[in-house]
Amino acid sequence: MNLFGINSADKIQMPSPEDALPGRESEMVIAGQHAVLNTPLKPPFPPSTEIAMFGMGCFWGAEKLFWQLKGVYSTAVGYGAGFTPNPNYEEVCCGKTGHNEVVLVVFDPAVITYADLLKTFWENHNPTEGMRQGNDVGTQYRSGIYVFNQQQKDLASESQNNYQQALKENGCADQTTEIIEDAPFYYAEDYHQQYLAKNPGGYCPNHTCSANPPANRSADSQRRPVGRLIRVRGALAPFYDRFRRMGPRHGHYYDVREVRARSTGAGQARREQAFPDLPACGRAGVYLVRRYHQHSLRR
């Protein structure tokens, strides 16, 4: 659906400040408490905490990643790094605000470091796709690190350089992550806050980046994928385009794609036997799982 007369091509072009929607003065009204952590969503926060902000695709799943980390005091989702004051969701989706879907993270640096947050950021999205994450297309899905002091800026830049080197070594496309200082942040609507806690079966795509591009996978026998079909039932189904597993089988990547109009047949592996740590979020179905060796980006 086109909103405000904007077509899909326009959604991947950043508007100029002059062309951005005017917005409004009134702030979004949201609940006072975090639905999971039972901590405040808005300042003031404890003086021992710091704030960080990241854009890494759909903010529902991104927020959940951070609120699960020990040392994170609170999280909130919103719109940031754009031009329109106090936008709403429909305005951001039309591509005429310049805003990104972002997660505000309030953390205790004595328990979890900013470098730890950066690790979660890099390992849980694909920073090489420009104005998109998988099937989610638009300027609001771009990769971004939004820093609030010089130390954060230095650490973000260092991690960006390290990650770019890892991508280069594995023949991947360049990352397109933006690093911006003191980007504005506006809270998203209340129903977006902690969405996956309120809707456990909700959409939570994971678009992690495989370290080896498809064009090169068949060139090296050590990188040739091993494919198998698995059937998953009910809420166990992973609602992912791709999923990179960095668990006990170190260095392995798994691409998970739905296979339509096919069946697994007798004797093929059940999900809980072959891949016990695939996340639960979505639909039942049949999925093609391909495993790639020797491409861990862990540093």
Question: What average pLDDT score do residues 25-39 get?
Answer: 97
Specify the pLDDT at position 286. Answer: 42
Residue that is written with structure tokens 């470098």 in the block: 115
Domains of the chain: 10-198 (3.30.1060.10), 214-292 (no CATH)
Of 1-10, 14-23, 116-125, 131-140, the one with minimum mean pLDDT is: 1-10
At position 122, the amino acid (one-letter code) is W
| Span 244-257, pLDDT tens digits | 333 333 333 344 44
How far, in Å, CA of 80 to CA of 101, rounded?
Answer: 7
- 165 sits in the region (left: phi over 0; alpha: psi -120 to 50; else beta) called alpha
Residue 72 burial by Cβ neighbours in a 10 Å radius (0-12, 13-18, 19+): buried
Residue that is written with structure tokens 């991104």 in the block: 62
| Active-site residue, from 58, 94, 172, 281 | 58
Specify the pLDDT at position 136. Answer: 92
Q: Extract the tokens encoding 227.
A: 């494919």
Strand pairing category for 143-147 and 50-56:
antiparallel
CA angle, 179 then 3 then 9, to 5°: 55
The pTM score is 0.70
The count of other CB atoms within 10 Å of the CB of residue 48 is: 11
> Among this protein's residues, is 58 annotated catalytic?
yes
DSSP H/E element including 51: strand 50-56
Please tell me whether the peptide bond between 47 and the residue prior to it is cis, using omega within 30 degrees of 0.
Answer: no
